[in-house]
């Protein structure tokens, strides 16, 4: 059994936890420690603070998920000034073995290794995720993360994608008008402009313009609260559109990837858990013409593990270093 440090670095927070892996899988994840990235100069100083809180030397192994592409000699994070040089990880962190993975790739690793109890049913048959074939992992959060999980003959592979940046396709006259409005502000309207944390404010402002009403809510957090509670009718209408579009996008991605199952993840995923089953998500997910039967036969799950990024960082390490 190998003890490692699991790290999940985002724009605002860096989360750390000790984990244990064995035979290519995560067997235990300790309680996380969350640090604000703005209060630390680098990953190294945050790592040292985590070590102080643990109160003993950290193990010389790490699985590190970062919000940004894993390419090149210098890794720059999205919405975070830290810079990571992979070649210096052993000397800076004392990690003799390490794995670097994109944050949403880490979520797909978590989907691969978590048990059925870590998911809740959204639509389709109430069966476990298939053990063979492609699982599409879609995560609305700050952006829209998309990955493929391929399971074949007891082995899995994670394929990171930029599927969140495909074009938004309106499906009714109101969405035609929303797209026209958004084109005034964005040179190109991707699905991330609609189905992510920024999506609800974008839809809300578009609906306000369509109805020639002033925008009443300026704070995104307040807007989400009003939308999900139904306290503001226009915010609630924007939220309905958000859920419809998430269903349509998830279905499109599943078709494009040849999926046999879908997992909704991301920072907004758990917030939406009580709302998606009662929304138009399913209707839009299966509304794929000749493929409607296939879509309705596909299990769609919501990941409920509290720290899929941390678990996935450890899982990525375990997959790369199975002994």
Mean pLDDT by 10 residues, the chain (323 residues): 94 92 95 93 95 95 90 78 89 94 94 95 96 96 91 94 94 97 95 94 96 83 90 94 97 97 88 90 97 97 94 96 85
d(CA 101, CA 269): 21
Please answer whether residues 22 and 319 qualify as being in contact, where contact means their C-beta atoms are separated by less than 8 angstroms: no
User: What pLDDT is stored for residue 151 in this prediction?
Assistant: 96
Q: Where are the CATH 3.40.367.20 domain residues in the chain? A: 163-303
For the chain, the residue count is 323
Longest dimension (CA), the chain: 63
> What are the φ/ψ torsions at residue 75 (nearest 5 degrees)?
-100, 120
What CATH architecture is 2-102+309-320? 2-Layer Sandwich (3.30)
User: What pLDDT is stored for residue 78 in this prediction?
Assistant: 67
**CATH code of the domain occupying 163-303:** 3.40.367.20
DSSP string, 16-85: EEEEEEETTEEEEEPPPEEEEGGG-SSHHHHHHHHHHHHTSPPPSEEEEEESS---SSSEE-TT---EE-
Which residues pair with residue 33 across a beta bridge?
16
User: What pLDDT is stored for residue 97 in this prediction?
Assistant: 95
d(CA 105, CA 109): 6
* Cβ atoms within 10 Å, residue 143: 24
User: 3-state DSSP: the chain helix, strand, coil percent, rounded to 5?
Assistant: 40, 25, 35
Give the residue numbers of the binding site.
7-12
- What is the DSSP-derived secondary structure letter of residue 168? P
d(CA 265, CA 122): 12
Q: Where are the CATH 3.30.420.40 domain residues in the chain? A: 2-102+309-320
d(CA 251, CA 124): 12
* Cβ atoms within 10 Å, residue 267: 16
The C-alpha R_g of the chain, in whole angstroms, comes to 20
Give the residue numbers of the binding site for ATP.
7-12
């Amino acid at each position: 059994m190998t003890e490692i440090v699991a790290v999940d670095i985002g724009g605002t927070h860096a989360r750390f936890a000790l984990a244990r892996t064995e035979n290519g899988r995560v067997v235990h994840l300790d309680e996380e420690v969350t640090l604000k990235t703005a209060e630390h100069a680098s990953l190294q100083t945050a790592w040292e603070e985590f070590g102080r809180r643990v109160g003993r030397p950290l193990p010389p192994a790490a699985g590190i998920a970062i919000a940004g592409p894993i390419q090149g000699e210098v890794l720059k994070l999205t919405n975070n000034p830290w810079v990571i040089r992979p070649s210096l990880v052993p000397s800076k962190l004392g990690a003799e073995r390490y794995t670097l993975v994109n944050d949403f790739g880490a979520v797909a690793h978590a989907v691969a290794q978590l048990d059925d109890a870590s998911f809740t049913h959204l639509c389709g048959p109430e069966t476990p995720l298939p053990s063979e074939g492609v699982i599409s992992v879609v995560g609305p959060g700050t952006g829209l993360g998309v990955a493929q999980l391929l399971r074949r003959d007891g082995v899995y592979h994670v394929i990171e994608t930029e599927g969140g940046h495909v074009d938004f396709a309106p499906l009714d006259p109101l969405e035609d008008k929303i797209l026209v409005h958004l084109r005034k502000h964005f040179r190109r309207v991707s699905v991330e402009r609609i189905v992510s944390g920024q999506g609800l404010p974008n839809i809300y402002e578009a609906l306000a313009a369509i109805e020639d009403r002033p925008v009443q809510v300026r704070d995104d957090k307040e807007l989400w609260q009003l939308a999900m509670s139904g306290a503001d009718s226009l915010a609630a209408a924007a939220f309905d559109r958000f859920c419809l579009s998430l269903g349509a996008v998830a279905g499109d991605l599943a078709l494009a990837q040849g999926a046999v199952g879908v997992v909704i993840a991301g920072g907004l995923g758990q917030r939406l858990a009580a709302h998606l089953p009662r929304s138009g998500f399913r209707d839009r997910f299966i509304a794929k013409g000749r493929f409607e039967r296939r879509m309705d036969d596909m299990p769609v799950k919501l990941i409920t593990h509290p720290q899929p990024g941390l678990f996935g960082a450890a899982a990525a390490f375990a997959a790369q270093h199975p002994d």
